[in-house]
A and B are shown apart, each in its own frame.
Chain A
Amino acid sequence: EAEVAQSPRYKITEKSQAVAFWCDPISGHATLYWYRQILGQGPELLVQFQDESVVDDSQLPKDRFSAERLKGVDSTLKIQPAELGDSAMYLCASSLGPSIFSYEQYFGPGTRLTVT
């Protein structure tokens, strides 16, 4: 069964360091999402890609976060510099396409980030 892959699964970093997460969506899925889930809360969207283009990054803290999906397949989310408040689970999800014709989002296992 096809799955969304993420790495690393766990990351511990010191504040002010740079950190990067990688996501490989289900093959053929044009839409890719990065969510952040703070402990005890539901996920919140950080950025949404349609192929290689960003379609929603309104909640991405652009002073320190960046995301790319250069060839419209896998994606990298970077934080530089990391802050203590960035400690969270970072979830990647993918779907066939946008809007009501591709309503099922499939999530990866997530990357648990701890900033010390």
Chain B
Amino acid sequence: QVQLQESGPGLVKPSETLSLTCTVSGGSITSDYWGWIRQPPGKGLQWIGFISYSGSTIYNPSLTGRVTLSVDRSKRQFSLKLISVTAADTAVYYCARDQELLSDYYYAMDVWGRGATVTVSS
């Protein structure tokens, strides 16, 4: 079955760029949406955005202007870039598949990676 794995630096300096990649195994990125979600310490889940297999994106308005998602179907990877990070961006970052489970656009995040901890600190 499809599995996801996040990878990237665990420590990023303030004002720099956070970059994470999610690698898809057991399947391909030829349908559905592929998203990023984060959980700051002691807080709840925050949706960051998603990208379709064709490259269209929707972002959380609170992060628009700082976040960019991209997809590389040949490598079966999708990526997150978050610029100008601050301590508030410290979180566990998850990637997830957002799949249509029921016709009529009933989407849900049914497969998740195990999460990558990213700390923003000098």
B is a partner of A: no
Give the A-binding residues of B (Cβ under 8 A): none
